[in-house]
Amino acid sequence: MMNAVTDTTPTEATATEIVLSIDAMGGDSGPATIVAGLELFLNKQPDAKVILHGPEAELTPMLVAKNLTASVTVHDAPEVVKMSDKPSKVLRSGKNTSMWSAIEAVRAGQAQVCISCGNTGGLMAMSMLRLRKAEGVSRPAIACLWPSRNPSGFNVMLDAGADIRADQDDLLTYALMGASYARNGLDIARPRVGLLNVGVEEHKGRAELKVAHELIAGAADLGDFEYIGFVEGGDIPSDRVDVIVTDGFTGNVALKTGEGTANLIAELLRTNLKSNPLSMLGALLAKGALKALTKKVDPRRVNGGVFLGLNHTVIKSHGSADATGVAAAINLAHRLARSGFSDKLAARVASAVSLAQDVREETDAPS
Amino acid sequence: MMNAVTDTTPTEATATEIVLSIDAMGGDSGPATIVAGLELFLNKQPDAKVILHGPEAELTPMLVAKNLTASVTVHDAPEVVKMSDKPSKVLRSGKNTSMWSAIEAVRAGQAQVCISCGNTGGLMAMSMLRLRKAEGVSRPAIACLWPSRNPSGFNVMLDAGADIRADQDDLLTYALMGASYARNGLDIARPRVGLLNVGVEEHKGRAELKVAHELIAGAADLGDFEYIGFVEGGDIPSDRVDVIVTDGFTGNVALKTGEGTANLIAELLRTNLKSNPLSMLGALLAKGALKALTKKVDPRRVNGGVFLGLNHTVIKSHGSADATGVAAAINLAHRLARSGFSDKLAARVASAVSLAQDVREETDAPS
């Protein structure tokens, strides 16, 4: 089912046992949905091992009922991070939460990747505190997958909202991390990277974008990606580019605007197809085709924002994800763990830090 | 066809003759498309008068052939602003262009609203130079219409890309101008205004957004709008809000992302419906319903970015607009001219300048 993962750094982790650390709490519909998603995942990957974090008395009976105890170990954690909790509160008093426990298992080396449906701000703050930023990374980013016209069906966009700011050095780091993620998560040997702007002309856009433009172009060889220059909002779902780099404010607005537009069109399509008996019959006949479309742009299939730039990989699943969505996020985690993604990414970024410095010095020189 | 325009300031201009100033050149498919759009418009508004700008020898035969000479006067202008011309070049050597001539007719009081399909940057630069910014406006904005779940079918978003920056005072001005536009262009007596951010919580987002949040809330009464606070990208096509305020960088990315997403879905829908004979038959039966959907989200229907914050109204039509799109932009211009929009907007903004000062002083006081 999974494609072979190729990368120039041969650190395949397939020989090692894959263990995933999953926060069972914090999703909108509770741990039963997480366990149901876990079951879907384990049906396809029966060799994977999972550590599940949450109240043991609640979780163990669910696992017993679904006969999952051979693959899943429970780490008891009595408390839950709420969706409304501010990051500062989570850091102060979150030590007994399932989220904290899920991150700790990765930190302690018991598992390779952590997955949580909980509060994004809390998860990022806790991940930064416990896992620490990787060498050379000043702002971690959230990478999301976007349905596209590319053969893989997806593009990568980052930052989708980890930080509302990004300077030129952060944008360069995002380019390196995004390319590494596309290589390991989407199996694209030499990803095409674009920098999001309001026009493709070089004289347009904010000052930091012009500098980032030079920095990213200079790092393309070392980062093993192709830099295609500035791209616009309309290119995000296109086949011109594989990785779209932007700051977390713009990326978050773009992501939510895209989702909102897709939802509006889906709603209008449903309403219009019910408008008269002829179109209802037509919709019935075209059901398979319409279903294939829905599947293609189904947000559940792209569930899983990946935190990049920490010493381990953390995946944030949508709080409202159902079992299919949870399974998609766990599958993504499994794929990244199997490819030894964290180590590869860290190696790329670390080696690029000195390069970026060189490029910057050249850029600063009179042109 | 047109709804009555309501506004608290009773300056209806319906008694005056409406004259529109139209740049015939600069569109991707040349003046024939502009004249075809003009014909569609004049069929519905036979009393309107138009000044058409461009090479007389080329335009007059077209008007004669379509029997439009009674309504349309030609102002001869031999040169054309190219899509690739930089704004600085346009200002330096653009005096003999059709775009310049179209703006001049409005400046001289011969027409109420100017419409052009040409280069956006050039049109904005020339409009700012010749028409000047309205009192109290530091950065003019481009307002665009967005298909939405609201009864009017549209929301207003600004700035869609006039300027890549906007500080707190600019955002306040955008709120006032956007509310005035929604009232006169969409017939919404008391528009709901939202400020685009990455979350609806008050502690989120950039510093200038927090200040703008206070300023806009304080100006709601004077601006005769309802302020609903922060909104997210997903709210842009929603029925929670009528006017979405943001800076031109974010607005431009959001606009193009929304268009790109809609195009991707339309393309996938077409491909999937052709995938097998059953779905092709289904699509045939549902043709009317699918057509109604296409019409609802047809970008041609929302053609016309309105430049707000100048001493006259200028409408930028898409360069790639066909006759239907051109007619939509001219219709919008006619509607705004009929409502005496420019004067009303100027009055709102001018009266708000002193208010904004008061609000700012209150906000600066210790809280």
Q: Could you report the per-residue pLDDT of B294-346, keeping only the tens digit for each?
A: 666 655 556 678 999 999 999 999 888 889 889 989 999 998 898 887 777 77
Number of domains in chain A: 2
| Cβ distance of B264 and A203 shorter than 8 Å | no
| Cβ distance of A261 and B263 shorter than 8 Å | no
| Cβ distance of B233 and A258 shorter than 8 Å | yes
Q: Own/partner pairs for A340-343, CB < 8 Å, 24+ apart?
A: A340/A11, A340/A12, A340/A13, A341/A180, A341/A181, A341/A184, A341/A185, A341/A313, A342/A112, A342/A113, A342/A311, A342/A312, A342/A313, A343/A11
Which CATH number goes with the domain that contains A118? 3.40.718.10
Residue type, A331: N
Note whether A3 and A130 are same-domain residues.
yes
Partner residues linked to A315 by β-bridges: A115, A306
Query: What is the spatial distance between Cα B187 and Cα B150, in angstroms, rounded to a whole number?
Result: 12
pLDDT at A8 over 50: no
Closest-CA residue of A relative to B84 is A201
| Cβ distance of A233 and B249 shorter than 8 Å | no
Cα A29 to the center of its chain, rounded Å: 21
Which of A256-265, B23-32, B134-143 shows the lowest per-residue confidence on average (mean pLDDT)?
Answer: A256-265
Q: Which two tokens stand for residue B292?
A: 């109604």
**Residue pair A272/B290 in contact by the 8 Å Cβ criterion:** yes
Instruction: Convert the pLDDT of each residue in B73-88 to its tens digit.
Output: 999 999 999 888 888 8
Residue partners of B354: CB distance under 8 A and separation at least 6: none
Q: What's the number of CA atoms in the CB half-sphere (13 Å) around residue B100?
A: 18
Instruction: Give the pLDDT of residue B3.
Output: 37
In 3D, which of A246, A116, A79, A85 has the Cα closest to residue A173?
Answer: A246
Closest-CA residue of B relative to A201 is B84
Query: What is the spatial distance between Cα B134 and Cα A325, in angstroms, rounded to a whole number?
Result: 51
pLDDT category at B222 given cuts 50, 70, 90 is confident
Note whether A107 and A197 are same-domain residues.
no
Note whether B120 and B69 are same-domain residues.
yes
Q: Is residue B353 part of a domain?
A: no
Note whether A77 and A167 are same-domain residues.
no
pLDDT at A52 over 90: yes
CB contacts < 8 A, A to B, total: 197
In 3D, which of B104, B143, B213, B179 has the Cα closest to residue B345?
Answer: B179
CA distance A267 to chain B (A): 10
Instruction: Give the pLDDT of residue B6.
Output: 38
Q: Is residue A360 part of a domain?
A: no
Q: Which among B232, B265, B289 has the least Cβ separation from residue A262? A: B265
pLDDT category at A301 given cuts 50, 70, 90 is low
Peptide bond into B85 cis (omega under 30): no
Q: Is residue A64 part of a domain?
A: yes
Note whether B201 and B232 are same-domain residues.
yes
Query: What is the spatial distance between Cα A318 and Cα A198, in angstroms, rounded to a whole number?
Result: 29
**Containing structural domain, residue B168:** 138-308
Note whether B91 and B151 are same-domain residues.
no
pLDDT category at A253 given cuts 50, 70, 90 is very high
Q: Is residue A54 part of a domain?
A: yes
Q: Which two tokens stand for residue B62?
A: 């077209």
Instruction: Convert the pLDDT of each residue in B194-213 to its tens digit.
Output: 999 997 666 677 889 999 99
Q: In the listed set A258, A289, A304, which residue is the last one of a domain according to the structure?
A: A304
Query: What is the spatial distance between Cα B232 and Cα A86, in angstroms, rounded to a whole number?
Result: 19
Q: In the listed set A255, A283, A304, which residue is the last one of a domain according to the structure?
A: A304
Instruction: Give the pLDDT of residue A9.
Output: 40
Note whether B213 and B332 are same-domain residues.
no
Q: In the listed set B286, B308, B330, which residue is the last one of a domain according to the structure?
A: B308
| Cβ distance of B234 and A257 shorter than 8 Å | yes
Q: Is residue B171 part of a domain?
A: yes
**Residue pair B257/A160 in contact by the 8 Å Cβ criterion:** no
pLDDT at A11 over 70: no
Note whether B195 and B285 are same-domain residues.
yes
Q: Is residue A344 part of a domain?
A: no
CA distance B42 to chain A (A): 31
Q: Is residue B275 part of a domain?
A: yes
Instruction: Give the pLDDT of residue A241.
Output: 97
ipTM: 0.82
Note whether B154 and B303 are same-domain residues.
yes
Note whether B117 and B146 are same-domain residues.
no
Q: Which two tokens stand for residue A174?
A: 């995002």
Note whether B208 and B67 are same-domain residues.
no
Residues of chain A contacting residue B279, judged by C-beta atoms under 8 Å apart: 285-286, 288-290
Sign of CA dihedral A159, A162, A163, A168: negative
**Any alpha helices (H) in chain A, and if so which ranges?**
31-44, 56-65, 87-93, 98-107, 120-131, 168-185, 207-223, 248-273, 277-285, 287-296, 323-338, 341-364
Instruction: Give the pLDDT of residue A213.
Output: 95
In 3D, which of B343, B327, B320 has the Cα closest to residue B1?
Answer: B327
Instruction: Give the pLDDT of residue B248.
Output: 93
Note whether A47 and A100 are same-domain residues.
yes
Q: Is residue A145 part of a domain?
A: yes
